[in-house]
Each structure stands twice: as structure tokens, then as C-alpha cells.
């Protein structure tokens, strides 16, 4: 089974732990919040319900209920459209100041907001990951593009990450701006775990096809 993840290289984007989340949410311990979500047949799943529980409502709202301090990724999936969105939820943590992008100047050639970075090498990939970690930025804060060398470096890194997370039979390949997954799991829980693994390594917005 092969699935396509359209990698939106023209981003309104950026994030903690690699790929920019679509939303960063800050909650107090014991608090809750309704966040505006996408319209349609979506489900919301928190990857750590000890930190936050989540539920999607047909009114296009995502209810987030804080459980304990920490950070959790909430994945929204729509199997009809073949799409996924990512909310990064912090409980008991204050929103950080926006990081200084000048640290990206040498490796990525971008040094001011709004960030427009061209990924040409592994050095740029690592610089962006370090910059985005715990940055509080979202997919509305950056515009990323790749050249061939940058895409190859990212693909190689993602493949290693998948194997380290136990997805040894899954192979990745870029087809234009699409990331093709060969051998994706049919089990929903395993599919979400795969998406989370790719999310943590990717630099760019994922749109499932």
C-alpha cells in the first residue's frame, strides 16, 4: 500500500520538535479550551493523554482538556480527504519569546521575519530544527523551499528516523513536491504513530492525499 503526503513547500509555517505544527496551544493545568478546527469529518487524537485529552466536534471545534504538565502532540485526521493537521499543546508552560532568526543566516540564508528559507543542505536542516525547537512558531510564520540536495538530505534523514522507530519496511520517496510512503500501516494507531514520526523529522507542512 502506498500513500502520498503532499509536502507543501510553500509554507505559512514553523515549529517545535521539527515540523511546524498548524497550531500551538498553551493551557493551564486542569484548564480546557475550544480551538477552531477544520470543517468536515475529522478525528482528534492526543498522543499523550496524561498531558491533554482531545475531541473533535462537528461544529469544527477541537476541545482540549489539560490533564498534567508537559507537551503533547494532537493529530487531526480526515480519512475522506486524506489529510492531517497537527496541534502542539503545552500544559503549564508560558509562551516563549520569538527566537532571533539571525542564527539561520549562514546555513539557510534567512535572517529576518517573515522567514523565507531555502533548504539546500543537511546543515540548514539541523539549523532549522534547533531554531524551531520550543520556538512557539506555527505554520503561519515561515516560507520554506527546497533544492534537490536539500530534499535528498531530508529524505535520507527521515528514512533513518523511521527505521529507528521500528518502521523498517516503509520506504519513502519524493515525487515532485510529494512524499510517497510505500508500505504504510493499515492500523489507525500505527498510522498516527508513523505520522508523528515523520512530523518530528519533517520541515514543511504535510497534506495527505
pLDDT of residue 25: 96
164, 147: one domain = yes
148, 166: one domain = yes
Q: Which residues pair with 180 in a beta bridge?
A: 4, 173
122, 191: one domain = yes
Q: 141-196 pLDDT, tens per residue?
A: 888 888 889 989 999 999 999 999 999 888 888 776 667 788 877 788 888 888 88
Number of domains in the chain: 2
Please give the average per-residue pLDDT across 83-103, as a whole number: 92
Backbone phi, then psi, for 158, in 5-degree steps? -65, -40
Average model confidence (pLDDT) across the chain: 84
Q: 100-115 pLDDT, tens per residue?
A: 999 999 999 999 988 8
CATH of residue 77: 2.60.40.3440
Domain membership of residue 9 as a residue range: 1-19+97-133+137-209
Distance in Å from the first CA to the final CA of the chain: 13
pLDDT cut 90: percent of the chain above it: 47
pLDDT of residue 209: 40
Taking the whole predicted model, whether its pTM rises above 0.85 is answered as no
26, 112: one domain = no
Q: 117-131 pLDDT, tens per residue?
A: 889 999 999 999 889
The highest-confidence range among 1-15, 77-91, 147-161, by mean pLDDT, is: 147-161
CA 21 to chain centre: 4
11, 26: one domain = no
Please give the average per-residue pLDDT across 196-200, as a whole number: 88
Please give the average per-residue pLDDT across 21-30, as a whole number: 93
pLDDT surpassing 90 at residue 207: no
83, 155: one domain = no
pLDDT of residue 12: 26
Pairing of β 142-146 and β 115-119: parallel
Three-state SS annotation for the chain: CEEEEEEECCCCCCCCCCCCCCEEEEECCCCEEEEECCCCCCEEEECCCCCEEEEEECCCEEEEEECCCEEEEEEEEECCCCEEEEEEEEECCCCCCCCCHHHHHHHHCCCCCCEEEEECCHHHHHHHHHHHCCCCCCCCCEEEEECHHHHHHHHHHHHHHHHHCCCCCCEEEEECCEEEEECCCCCHHHHHHHHHHHHHHCCCEEEEC
pLDDT of residue 187: 82
120, 205: one domain = yes
112, 188: one domain = yes
143, 110: one domain = yes
Amino acid at each position: 500500500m502506498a500513500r502520498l503526503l503532499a509536502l507543501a513547500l510553500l509554507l505559512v509555517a514553523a515549529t517545535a520538535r521539527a515540523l511546524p505544527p498548524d497550531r500551538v496551544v498553551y493551557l493551564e493545568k486542569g484548564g480546557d479550551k475550544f480551538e477552531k478546527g477544520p470543517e468536515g469529518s475529522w478525528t482528534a487524537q492526543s498522543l499523550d493523554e496524561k498531558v491533554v485529552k482531545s475531541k473533535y466536534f462537528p461544529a469544527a471545534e477541537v476541545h482540549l482538556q489539560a490533564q498534567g504538565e508537559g507537551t503533547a502532540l494532537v493529530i487531526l485526521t480526515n480519512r475522506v480527504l486524506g489529510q492531517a493537521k497537527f496541534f502542539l499543546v503545552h500544559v503549564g508552560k508560558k509562551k516563549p519569546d520569538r527566537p532571533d532568526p539571525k542564527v539561520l543566516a549562514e546555513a539557510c540564508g534567512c535572517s529576518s521575519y517573515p522567514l523565507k528559507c531555502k533548504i539546500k543542505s543537511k546543515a540548514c536542516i539541523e539549523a532549522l530544527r534547533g531554531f524551531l525547537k520550543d520556538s512557539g512558531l506555527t505554520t503561519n510564520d515561515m516560507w520554506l523551499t527546497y533544492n534537490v540536495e536539500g530534499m535528498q538530505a531530508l529524505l535520507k534523514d527521515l528514512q533513518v528516523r523511521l527505521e529507528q522507530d521500528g518502521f523498517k519496511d516503509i520506504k519513502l520517496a519524493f515525487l515532485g513536491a510529494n512524499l510517497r510512503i510505500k508500505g504504510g500501516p493499515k492500523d489507525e494507531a500505527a498510522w498516527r504513530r508513523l505520522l508523528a514520526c515523520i512530523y518530528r523529522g519533517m520541515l514543511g507542512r504535510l497534506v495527505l492525499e
